[in-house]
C-alpha cells in the first residue's frame, strides 16, 4: 500500500530527490569539495572477533545463505562446509567470489522448498539458516503464515529429511511476540518435537563486538537429549566501555569502529535496514525515524550509501556528515574487509542487512560444537 502523504510533503520529496541527483552528478564530475578529508581506515577488524578454529570434523549445510553471515561464521568456527543454498543469484555470486571451492546452489537449484534432501542424509552434522524474516517483521507487515515468503515449513522439512545432529535457525525478535505464539508452537516446535529438543533465545550483536544495536532470535535444536542438556546460549564476549565491571573486551562505537575523528559523541549504529527484496532499489540503511536521530548524533549520513570509500568521500552530504560506503556497512555488521560482496550498492546493502552478524553466528557455532562434545577451542595458527 502506498504511503498517505500530503501534496506538500510529496513536493518536498521531489525537490530533495532533484537536488540529490544534481549533487550526485556534480560528485561524479569531481565538482564537490571534500574539505581535505582522507579515506577512513576502520579500527575494527571483524576477523579478530572470530579467531579461526582448527577443523574439528563437524559438517555444516547452509540454507537461505544470503550474503554468507552464518556460512562464514561456521567456517571460522572450524566446521567443514558442505553446501550453500539460496534462490537469489546475486547472493550466490558473492559466495562463489569469496569461496570458489564451495558448493553453491542458486536459482531453481537453490530453492530450499524444492530440493530433494535425501542425498544429504547422514552427511551433515549441523543445518543452519535464516528463513526469510519479512513475514514476522514490522517492515514486512507481519502477515506470518499468510505471507508467501514464509519459508519456515521448508526449513523444517529439510531438517527432518537430512536428520542432522543439530540445527540453528535465525529470525527477527518479533517472531517471539504474542502475536506469533501459536505459529511458533504449531508450525515450528510441534513438527520438530518428535525428533529434536529445541531451545530459543535472543542475542544482541553488540554483546559480541559488533558495533550495532541489532537483536535477533535463534532456535537451536538437537537430536540428542544429552547434547541439548549440554548446550548453553553463548555468553557475551564484549561489553560497552563505560560499564562498572566490564569484560576484558569492549565493543567499539560506530565512529571509532569506522576510524572516524572523535566528535565527543559515539554509540552503536542503529540496526541496518534489511529490505532486500522490496520494490525500491534503495541505497539507504535507515530503518526508522528513531534511528535517523541516532545517525544524526553520530554525524553519519545513512542514505545514499556508495559502492566504495573513495566514491563516498567525493560525494559529501550537504550537512557535512560522513557518507557511508558498502564496506563501512559491512564492518558495522561484523564482516571482514576480505569478504567482498557482488552486485550494485543496493544489492550489497540487502545482502549485508539480511545477514546474521558473523561474530554472533560464530559464538553460536562454537556453543553448538561444544554441546555435541567437540573441542572447539583450538585456534588455527
Q: What gap in Å lies between CA 277 and CA 376, rounded to an integer? A: 36
Complete DSSP assignment for 277-337: SSS---------HHHHHHHHHHTEEEEEEESSHHHHHTS--TT-PEEEEHHHHHHHHT--T
What's the gap between Cα 2 and its chain centre? 28
What is the pLDDT at residue 134? 57
Enumerate the active-site residues: 133
> In what helix (H) or strand (E) does residue 204 lie, and over which residues does it extend?
strand 197-204
pTM (2 decimals)?
0.90
What is the pLDDT at residue 233? 97
10-residue stretch averages of pLDDT, the chain, 381 residues long: 67 73 72 72 97 97 97 98 97 98 97 96 97 57 51 95 98 89 93 97 97 96 98 92 64 97 96 72 89 97 95 92 97 97 95 96 98 84 64
What is the pLDDT at residue 377? 76
Q: What gap in Å lies between CA 363 and CA 358, rounded to an integer? A: 9
CA nearest neighbour of 363 among 201, 234, 213: 234
CA nearest neighbour of 43 among 215, 213, 254, 263: 254
Residues of the chain with CATH 3.40.50.150: 50-237+357-371
Fold of 50-237+357-371: Rossmann fold (3.40.50)
Strands 166-171 and 215-222: antiparallel
What is the pLDDT at residue 246? 57
Amino acid at each position: 500500500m502506498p504511503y498517505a502523504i500530503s501534496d506538500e510533503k510529496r513536493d518536498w520529496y521531489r525537490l530533495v530527490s532533484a537536488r540529490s541527483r544534481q549533487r550526485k552528478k556534480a560528485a561524479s564530475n569531481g565538482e564537490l569539495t571534500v574539505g581535505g578529508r582522507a579515506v577512513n581506515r576502520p579500527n575494527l577488524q571483524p576477523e579478530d572477533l572470530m579467531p579461526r578454529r582448527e577443523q574439528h570434523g563437524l559438517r555444516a549445510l547452509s540454507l537461505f545463505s544470503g550474503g554468507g553471515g552464518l556460512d562464514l561464521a561456521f567456517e571460522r568456527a572450524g566446521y567443514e562446509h558442505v553446501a550453500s543454498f539460496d534462490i537469489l543469484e546475486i547472493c550466490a555470486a558473492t559466495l562463489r567470489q569469496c569461496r570458489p571451492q564451495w558448493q553453491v546452489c542458486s536459482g531453481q537449484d537453490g530453492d530450499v522448498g524444492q530440493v530433494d534432501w535425501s542425498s544429504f542424509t547422514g552427511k551433515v552434522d549441523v543445518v543452519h539458516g535464516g528463513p526469510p524474516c519479512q513475514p514476522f517483521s514490522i517492515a514486512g507487515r507481519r502477515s506470518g503464515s499468510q505471507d508467501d515468503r514464509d519459508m519456515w515449513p521448508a526449513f523444517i522439512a529439510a531438517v527432518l529429511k537430512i536428520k542432522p545432529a543439530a540445527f540453528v535457525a535465525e529470525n527477527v525478535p518479533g517472531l517471539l511476540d504474542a502475536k506469533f505464539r501459536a505459529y511458533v508452537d504449531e508450525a515450528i516446535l510441534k513438527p520438530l518435537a518428535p525428533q529434536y529438543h529445541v531451545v530459543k533465545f535472543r542475542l544482541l550483536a553488540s554483546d559480541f563486538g559488533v558495533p550495532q544495536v541489532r537483536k535477533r532470535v535463534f532456535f537451536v535444536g538437537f537430536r540428542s537429549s544429552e547434547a541439548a542438556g549440554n548446550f548453553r546460549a553463548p555468553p557475551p564476549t564484549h561489553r560497552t566501555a563505560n560499564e562498572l565491571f566490564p569484560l576484558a573486551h569492549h565493543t567499539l562505537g560506530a565512529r571509532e569502529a569506522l576510524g572516524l575523528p572523535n566528535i565527543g559523541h559515539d554509540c552503536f549504529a542503529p540496526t541496518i535496514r534489511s529490505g532486500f527484496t522490496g520494490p525500491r532499489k534503495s541505497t539507504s540503511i535507515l530503518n526508522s525515524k528513531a534511528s535517523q536521530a541516532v545517525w544524526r548524533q553520530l554525524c553519519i549520513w545513512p542514505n545514499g550509501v556508495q559502492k566504495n570509500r573513495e566514491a563516498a568521500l567525493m560525494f559529501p552530504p550537504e550537512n557535512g556528515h560522513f557518507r557511508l560506503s558498502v564496506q563501512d556497512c559491512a564492518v558495522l555488521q561484523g564482516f571482514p574487509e576480505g569478504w567482498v560482496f557482488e552486485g550494485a550498492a543496493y544489492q550489497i546493502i540487502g545482502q549485508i542487512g539480511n545477514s546474521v552478524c558473523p561474530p554472533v553466528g560464530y559464538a553460536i557455532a562454537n556453543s553448538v560444537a561444544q554441546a555435541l562434545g567437540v573441542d572447539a577451542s583450538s585456534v588455527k595458527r
